[in-house]
Structure 1
Amino acid sequence: MCLIGLSLKAQDKKIYTAQDVKDEFVRTWLAYKQYAWGHDVLLPITKTNADWYKESLHISPIDAYSTMQVMKLDKYAKEVEQYIKDSVSFDKDIYVKTFEVNIRVLGGLLCMYQYTNDPRILAQTKDFGDRMLKAFNSPTGIPYYWVNLKTGAVKGSQVNTAEAASYMFEMGILSYYTKNPAYYQAAKKANLCIWNKRSKINLVGNVINNETGEWIDRNSYIGAGDDSYFEYLLKTWVLFKDPQLKNMWDISIAAINKYIPEQTNTGVWYGYVNMDTGEKTKSTVTLYDAFWPALYSLGGDIKRAEAFDDTWDGLWNKYGLEPSGYDYKKEEPTYPVYDLNPEIIESAYYLHYYTKNPKYEARGQQYYRDILKYCKTDIAFSSIADVRTMKQNNELPTFFFAETMKYFYLLFGGNPDINLKEYVFNTEAHPFKKSGFVPKEVNKRLGINN
């Protein structure tokens, strides 16, 4: 009995390597191929599959591809490339969520072209971008929530800030590769509309009507629904050096730092405030907030990054995984699901890269052990329905392939050639090499006027 106890204790503290992560990625990918090939997602407990819409968009392979490249899984990457070229058409009479397909499908295809330089991949990417571009045909330039890939019909005039203005990164890259500024300019117009609707204290709201340009929800916060709007101000500037974006980021982050953080006995939290007054309105947060230490690190604010990361690390360790929604004043989950999210792992990777402090890799080791303990199934991994019970719920989000396993792999020392000095990651963790974008060509191809 004692020996078994000691053995389990030793296993709990095992140090995992990048190769261990790679092996688990391959195991899960092979399960997808066996049970879900041709479909968007694997259902890991029932060993079946599902699609986001009435027809598949092949989201898992497109999302997984860049991680295969980072892990040097050439055989699997080539299979996906061939599949996209030979078997995939986006001429589908389905309404898709503009925001989601931008970061996953368009972002993944752009990354595939970066790695292959294959004109057939670029043709597929441009075709998808052209179909998605029709979502931006609104009175304000802010895209509609839904766009039909075949007809170009649109619907859904109410969008949150992230859904309104998180497109400059991918559409800028598409403009660069196609030498057509229309994509970047459409995305930037949406951003400028949100920017011009900011309050006198430089905060933006949460939900806007893309036909009237009026705010529907005047709460301001940094979590799911607003997060990637801010992320792409900084990351698109880092990649393309559009000076307007740096100014927008600097003003936005100063307003966030002034009005949103709230110190409690469990850490510093970023809840909701009124965009006009800065007054605190709600004490709920989402686990998507946990990527902000990464963004602070990229922006050079290590002090705030470390303090915020401590908060989220504390919440993870309170349960053994993170709840998707949490009320930091009541100290209880508002939405107890854990969907194999990557954000806290992403932040550990960024902080480890910038500070070289081994505690961030140690945190990543704990997160990995916990995911193995609670989320691993006989063929793959599953989301958790409730972090208080650790009941699995038969879902495997595509970002597990794209983000979660990639950030673990990089944090544990896999492929140091992919790093934050030379690459910028989109919000789905597809990496793009800075040197692939020549500054003079950027300005011309994207239509940037310095």
Structure 2
Amino acid sequence: MSRTRRQWLGYFLALIAVLLIYQHSRPSSNGQNTESETPTPIANDDTDTSDSLNPKPPNPDLLTPPSDQLQPGNDQSLEFIWRSLPLRFPATSNLFPPIESTQGIPRIQGSEFSPVTTWFQKSRQAAVKDAFTRCWDSYKSLAWEADELVPMSGLPRNDIGGWGLTIVDNLDTLWIMGMGAEFKEAVATVVKISFENIQAPEINTHEINIRILGGLLGAFDLSSDRRLLKKAIEVGDMLYAAFDTPNRMPIIHWDPHRAIRQEEQIAEEMASASELGAFILEFTRLSQLTGDPKYFDAAQMVMEKFNRLQDVTRLPGMWPLIVNARSENFDGDFFTMGFEDSLYQILPKAYMLLGGHMSVYRKMYEKSTRTIAGHNLFRPMNSQGRDILLPGSIHVQMTQNGKSRTQLESKVHHRACFSGGMFALGGALFNIQTHRKIANKLVDGCTWVSQKMPLEIMPEVVEMVPCSSQTECPWNEPIWKQQVWKKVNTGPEPDPDMDTDRYISQHRLPKGFVDIPDKGYNLRSEVIESIFTLYRVSGREDLLDTAWDIFESIQNATEIINGNAVIADVTVLDEQPVHIDRMDSSWMSQTLKYFYLLFSDPGYIDLDEYVFNSAGHPLKRPKEESTL
């Protein structure tokens, strides 16, 4: 059905709905209305017949009394091992997060649904919720309290602490989708988790921070259930112990048993810059809620080091993928967004969460995006002549005379597609028009890659032919085939007689694609996350249809009996997709959540009220005193 015919049908159906609502709500014979105009919140959605795209969340009054602020020192139940653990290298700083009212931050959201759009999105929203419910029910029946469900085997899986990651990670998703009974059951399970009980010899503090601490904070900010804040403090204190190193740089691959035994801890010599710098949102929010500045102080001191070193890396403005956290040497030569989604995107979000009072985050954002736009982004040559952008990576080589030379690697990682949303948010927040244009081109670029695949799903990694210019890029088929030949024949014994056309056909390479190094799809969220952010900021309604097409493609390819599973190859169309026995918690807590919110009324979980951390958890922004 064409969009015009669909709109007329929508108008007709909406008119009928209005007439029915009017007839149903007419006063009774005694002149009094028989129903309340404003429904009260309900504890679950089993009988929800509302046409609203904002589901009625559980009533926090049915849980435990909310608390605006919880002073941890006043509650004896919080005296667990991590709070009482002595520090070998206590902080010498004492930084407090700003407490002034938010001022000077403009409104971010620019989209709102028309009645017709609302009509069409309701069924889409319901389909996403059905997909989530199927996965949740499978996890509940087959792997309850485990970190994740292995969907094809129907077995539990524990490799992120064994603390019921899927439950904690999806608390806010349950709340957002109005699943009150499930939320209450999940909270009752979470409060029994003991973060003193660590079975694994090593844990990833980055993952615990963004997914478990972030999940607890996001659920608390939505529900005001103080039990969740108590658990967040427990996790925060555990993670704080990972900062107990001589230079106060956190240990990412951390042995918590060493900390408990009071053994010396030293920061790693090879660590991901993204993981080191990704504590600031969660630790800031924890300090805001508890009044205890130690969390913010720890994360902010790390970000001060990132700020100090930003201009002296081999690619000034960006931080290398791998750094030496022990010596604070940031001399790496590879710069990418493919594995740095937790670093660059948090810069404008930290600015917002801190009420606009710390300009250092605006400065770091603007410096990094200036470098990214000038080096990492490229226009891919394509036969349709689409004016789109994709995020690549940069190798920096030092010449004999001491000068640097950059080389673009035009491999595009699915994870790097967060960048469209980052530019959309930053462009709106700081009123940078060029960033708005870049955001649209990046989102269109990543969705274009998805559309070019036989299954219409973006694979984990693709490699393209980059244009020499972002302004003009005519299609040149011989150059494309030449690049494919060069890619195949990079070894010591090239094959001059290679049949390039046959190779392209056998490897199912769309025009413009040089290679697809990783044809799989790991149920990732980055493409839909950027579509969500750009839609909320710009109001581009075509993005709703694009997102729905992607959702249907993903469901068709990944849905199995116990939920959804990773697929091995998105370039195979005529055969049944090969599934891999894995369903990360992030499929529900990020991918499906962003789909659901995209098809919800834009005023629901408003970007002017919340910032989403890198694991998709909404953290409440300080209340604004005024907006521009």
Q: TM-score, normalised by structure 2?
A: 0.64
Q: For 1:249-398, what aligned pairs fall within 5 Å after superposition? A: 249-266=365-382, 267-274=388-395, 277=404, 279-300=406-427, 301-319=435-453, 320-329=456-465, 331=513, 332-389=515-572, 390-398=577-585
* Residues 1:257 and 1:173: Cα distance change in structure 2 (over 3 Å): same
Q: What secondary structure sits across from 2:390 in the alignment?
A: strand
Which residue type is aligned with residue 560 of structure 2?
T
The Cα of 1:75 is off from its aligned counterpart by 0.8
Identity level (%)? 23
Distance of 1:115 and 1:308 partners within structure 2: 31
**In structure 2, what is the equivalent of residue 34 of structure 1?**
141
1:58 to 164, 171, 175: 164
Does residue 147 of structure 1 match 2:254? yes
What are the superposed Cα offsets for residues 358-402 of structure 1, whole Å, 9 maximum, x if unpaired? 210111011111011100012211111222343110111111111
How much does 1:45 deviate? 1.2
Match of 1:83 among 189, 207, 217: 189
> CA-to-partner distance for each residue in 1:211-248, whole Å, 9 max, x for gaps?
11123632112221x22211111101111122221121
Aligned-partner SS, 2:523: coil
Q: Distance in 2 between matches of 1:113 and 1:36?
A: 24
Amino acid across the alignment from 2:348: L
Structure 2 CA distance for partners of 1:87 and 1:164, relative to 1, 3 Å: closer
Q: Is the 8 A contact 2:277 2:302 kept in 1?
A: yes
- Determine the C-alpha separation between the residues in 2 that align with 1:427 and 1:64: 14
Q: Residue 20 of structure 2 corresponds to which residue in structure 1?
A: none
Distance 1:308 1:388 in 2: 22
CA contact (8 A) 2:376 2:408 kept: no
Contact 1:144/1:158, CA 8 A, preserved across alignment? no
Following TM superposition, by how much is the alpha carbon of 1:169 offset from its aligned partner in structure 2, in angstroms? 0.2
- Is contact 2:457–2:570 with CA below 8 Å preserved after alignment? yes
Distance in 2 separating the partners of 1:438 and 1:32: 43
* In structure 2, distance between residues paired with 1:292 and 1:189: 25
Partner of 1:406: 593
The equivalent position to 2:346 in structure 1, one of 229, 232, 238, is 232
- Provide structure 1 residue ranges, at least 5 long, that are not aligned to the other structure: 1-13, 440-450
Q: Is the CA contact (8 Å cut-off) linking 1:140 and 1:190 kept in structure 2?
A: no
Please list the CA deviations of residues 90-135 of structure 1 after superposition, one character each: whole Å capped at 9, or x if unmatched: 4315321011111001101112222343443222211111111122
Kindly report which structure 2 residues correspond to 1:76-225, keeping only aligned pairs within 5 A, or say none: 76-94=182-200, 95-152=202-259, 156-200=268-312, 201-215=316-330, 217-224=332-339
Alignment CA distance shift 1:129-1:180 (3 Å): same
* CA distances 1:309-364 after superposition (whole Å, capped 9, x unpaired): 11111111122212112222352222222111111111111222222222101110
Q: Which moved more, 1:326-335 or 1:270-279?
A: 270-279
Write out the 4+ residue segments of structure 1 that deviate beyond 6 Å after TM superposition.
none
- Separation in structure 2 between the aligned mates of residue 149 and residue 123 of structure 1, nearest angstrom: 20
Give the AA of the match of 1:261.
L
Paired AA for residue 442 in structure 2: F
Q: CA deviation at 1:43?
A: 1.0
**Equivalence for 1:25:** 132
Contact in 1 for aligned 2:609/2:620 (Cα 8 Å): yes
- Name the aligned partner's letter for residue 105 of structure 1: I
Structure 1 residue 297 displacement after superposition:
0.9
Q: CA deviation at 1:285?
A: 2.4
How far apart are 1:82 and its partner, in Å? Answer: 0.7
In the alignment, the residues of structure 2 paired with residue 121 and residue 410 of structure 1 have an alpha-carbon distance, to the nearest angstrom, of 23
**Maintained 8 Å contact 2:395/2:407:** yes
Residues 394 and 426 of structure 1: is their aligned pair in 2 closer, same or farther, counting only changes over 3 Å? same
Q: Secondary structure at the residue paired with 1:86?
A: coil
* Equivalent residues of 1:40, 1:58 under 8 A apart: yes
Q: CA deviation at 1:415?
A: 7.4
| 1:277 shift after superposition | 4.1
Q: State the SS of the aligned residue for 2:563.
A: coil
Change (3 A) 1:367 1:90: farther
Superposition RMSD in Å: 2.3
Shift of the 143–237 alpha-carbon distance from structure 1 to 2, 3 Å rule, reads same
One-letter amino acid of the counterpart of residue 617, structure 2: H
Given the superposition, is the C-alpha separation of residues 415 and 204 from structure 1 closer, same or farther in structure 2, using an over 3 Å criterion? closer
**Counterpart-to-counterpart distance in 1, 2:322 and 2:520:** 24
Contact 1:169 1:426 in 2 (8 A): yes
**Mean CA deviation greater in 139-148 or 176-185:** 139-148
SS in 1 for 2:163: coil
CA contact (8 A) 1:283 1:328 kept: yes
CA distance in 2, matches of 1:438, 1:403: 31
**1:353–1:112: structure 2 CA closer, same or farther, 3 Å change rule?**
closer
CA-to-aligned-CA distance 1:402-423 (integer Å, 9 cap, x gap)? 1111111111125742122222
Q: How many residues are aligned here?
A: 424
Q: Are the equivalent residues in 1 in contact too, given 2:321–2:332 (CA < 8 A)? A: yes
Please say if residues 42 and 396 of structure 1, whose CA atoms lie closer than 8 Å, have aligned partners that are also in contact.
yes
> 27-36 vs 184-193, which deviates more?
184-193
Helix, strand or coil: the match of 1:299?
helix
Write the distance in 2 (CA, Å) between the matches of 1:117 and 1:345.
28
Match of 1:70 among 173, 176, 201: 176
Kept in 2, the 8 Å contact 1:205–1:217? The answer is yes
CA distance in 1, matches of 2:602, 2:618: 13
Q: Within 2, Cα distance between the matches of 1:138 and 1:76?
A: 40
**For 2:625 and 2:153, how far apart are their aligned partners in 1?**
48
Q: By how many angstroms is 1:269 displaced?
A: 2.5
Cα deviation, 1:147-185, whole Å, max 9, x if unaligned, reads 234542657431111111111000101111121111111
Q: Deviations over 1:11-45 (max 9, x none)?
A: xxx98511111122111100000011010111111
Q: 5+ residue gaps in structure 2?
A: 1-119, 383-387, 397-402, 428-434, 466-483, 485-512
1:4 equivalent in structure 2: none
Give 2:39's aligned residue: none
| Deviation per residue, 1:295-315 (Å, 9 max, x gap) | 111112221011111111111
